[in-house]
A and B are shown apart, each in its own frame.
Chain A
Amino acid sequence: MNRYFYYHVLYVGMINVMLFVPHILIKERFDGSVAGILASILIGTFLSIVTIVSMRRFPRMGLPEILHRHFAPYVASPLVALAGLSWLVGAVLVIFSLTQTMGAFLNPEMNEYLFMALMVFAAMFAGSRSSRTVQFACEILVLLSLPLVALIMFKAVSNRQLNWDAIRVVAGHFRDLPSIKVIAAATFFFSGYMSLMLFNRLNPPDFKVRHLWTLPLLGTLFSLFTFFIPIGFHGTVAVEEYIYLWSVTADSMVMKFGFIQRVFFIFLVLYSILSLMFAMNTFHSAMEFFKACSPRYKPQPEQVPVPKINWILCACFGLVAFLYGIWANDEKNQRVTEIWLVCRFSLEIVTMLVVASLAVAAGRKPRASSPARAASPGE
């Protein structure tokens, strides 16, 4: 069960590439990005560990159940809906940039909307499954993509064209104060733990996330890697020139003996899988959260066949994604993403505060009552 938690940490740690996080960081590389990353390592670790430890008080419960248990419906429902909305926006943004990237590099002549329809359909189908299915699919997909990740990482670090001097020059600018945007973007590397808000429903009652020390380690690895490798390949100045920063970075590596010569295509394959996975998880989370707005709703992690309401909700999400695709362009999308990153960051803080204070409150009450009640929502 523990490993399922870490799959979420892994793919969220990598998906930032599709959400312009490297771009945002690179833009301010001389004014506080490095400090921002360092700060976010502390902040992200703190947020995630406090939240995870607090969640131990609520076995087999997701965020909606926790809120409904402690607040009246008119307080809880909007909060749950807000959380769902934040997931949904993430999904929409990733679907949009996936369509843009794939459209630009793989099918430049294809109708954009037709392309988007495919992505939206895939996310809809995958997101509307039951929670358990989503867990299983995550596992298989992460395991399939890990070799590709390892390959790209290896290719990047062992590359002779990687200019360590450029990396050192940028790393030297760690004294400037970071902006809130940079910190919000950089903490996204640690956001994988948020999946616990929903998938805690599936965990057994005595569940504890073990090996917590890996969280800061993984987050640090991802953030340093995402930030510094492009600088190493494109120098301190030219990095700014590229929009699809990591695609271009992957395109700077060659596989001499590969059947596919350009690492770039491996990267595209990897990121389409990761983005679809992220879209699946976010669609699913948003769907479950919206369903849980009603206090009477009983979560069911395993539902076969898929109920109609899932399809309807996901179709709505798909429609939202599609409409966003019609409205947005590269520049607007970038701005929306930045806003979303900041909102998500503040929501994460709010979530942590709420969950932690409720956990403390629950801890003060006599222990006997809580397990008995906790068992009920899972049944």
Chain B
Amino acid sequence: MRRILIALSLCLLLSGCGMKDIDKRFYVVTTGIDWSGNPQKPYRISVRLAITSAKVESGSSKTQIVTIDAPSIAEGVRHLKSFVDKELEFGHCRVFILGKELLQNGPPGSMSWFARRRDIQLVSYFAVGDPDALSVLKVQPQSERYPGNALFLTFGKEGTESPYITTTYLFDMVRRHFEMGLDPVLPVIRPKEKTYEVDRVLLMDKKKSRLILTPEETQLYNMTANKATKSEMKMSRGADRVVLTVNYVRSKIDVGQGDIPLVTMKVKIRGFLEESPPDLLEKDWHGLERELGKHFSGQVEELLYKIRDAGVDPYGFGLHYLASYFGGKKDYERWVEAYSKVRFKVVTEVKITGAGVVR
């Protein structure tokens, strides 16, 4: 008994460090980083802080936004701590938004801050704010129950599952930033009154942003690269419009050898017709499938050439090339040279399972 008492009192003497109650912490739910234009303090760091309350109902989420300009992210965050009354916590910060301008001005040198902080989750989402990150932070979505939850649900695929939304995790961005033959992709968030528009992606090379895809292209990209189901294929057929809802997509990439490599992409799509002129399907089921496939292949090929011309490789053709031929550094150099001349061939196999619940 005496021994236990001694041990306990020792613990009491030594402890007390590290304990901080949850209500003494301020949770950052979204962090935004912008280009301030000032060369001395190039980074404008803004954090959206959660103000929690016992009552949870739609629209009850309250947040506070704090902003600072700093020469580096780490310094800025440290300085920000003096602006608030509680300990800043990044443990639950799941969304990081980089300003569009920031990416155009080259990659932030202190970007490794994200990967280095032990409390930042490697599964946090990265996105681009258009026109800047701060304006995205300022949006207060009406449906939000928990602070920051709207974006968590958007990217986490727990709530909406849209073919226009690409999810990029921090570890994925780091991987793509360093990897040979695979380049970063970031979704673009545009604020619109009380909600967000997330329907474009931004393609980067290793240094800066190169290309922003339109919503249409974004969907194509998601279908071919991320197997995004719940997407659609559409085609005009004379005056009518044919829309196929896709519930299964698989794509297979094959990179050929040769001086001008040929990249073959085989896409398999299954779905049912959601909108079509009456009796179209019964007339020529296979013909329609072929037609849809051909149309889709054309669209994707167009997209691939556009991406190639921008000099980026979000699909990882280069990596796949290396993997196929167990290549090393030299093969990679050869690939980089050849990439601007690469030819693409897309073969799409469409299978229509029916026309929904009507004939």
Contact = CB atoms under 8 A, between A and B. Distances in A.
A–B touch (CB < 8 A): the answer is yes
B323 interface: yes
Interface in B272-326: 316, 319-320, 322-324, 326
Contact of B123 (A107, A169, A171, A251): A251
A110 interface: yes
Contacts of A166: 179, 319, 323
A248 B171 contact: yes
A252 B323 contact: no
Interface in A160-215: 160-161, 163-166, 168-169, 171-173
A168 B323 contact: yes
B106 interface: no
A241 B175 CA distance: 10
A239 to B, nearest CB: 9
Given A163-B316, A163-B319, A169-B326, A236 B121 contact: no
Interface in A131-167: 160-161, 163-166
A262 B326 contact: no
Of listed B115, B227, B319, residue having the most chain A CB within 10 A: B319
A238 B319 contact: no
A172 B180 CA distance: 15
Interface string B166-202: 0001011011111110100000000000000000000
Contacts of A233: 171, 175
A241 B322 CA distance: 21
Contact of A251 (B121, B320, B323, B326): B121
Given A168-B323, A173-B328, A163 B175 contact: yes
B334 interface: no
A358 interface: no
Interface string B324-358: 10111000000000000000000000000000000
28 contacts: A105-B118, A108-B118, A108-B119, A109-B18, A109-B20, A111-B17, A111-B18, A114-B17, A160-B226, A163-B316, A165-B320, A165-B322, A165-B323, A169-B322, A169-B323, A169-B326, A173-B328, A235-B176, A235-B182, A238-B178, A242-B115, A248-B171, A251-B121, A252-B122, A252-B123, A253-B123, A254-B123, A262-B123
For the complex of A and B, 3 pairs with smallest distance between CB atoms? A172-B326, A168-B323, A110-B18
Given A165-B322, A173-B328, 16 more contacts: A109-B18, A114-B14, A114-B15, A161-B171, A163-B316, A166-B319, A166-B323, A168-B324, A238-B175, A238-B177, A241-B115, A242-B115, A251-B122, A256-B158, A262-B123, A264-B121
Interface of A: 30, 104-105, 107-111, 114, 160-161, 163-166, 168-169, 171-173, 233-238, 241-242, 248, 251-254, 256, 262, 264
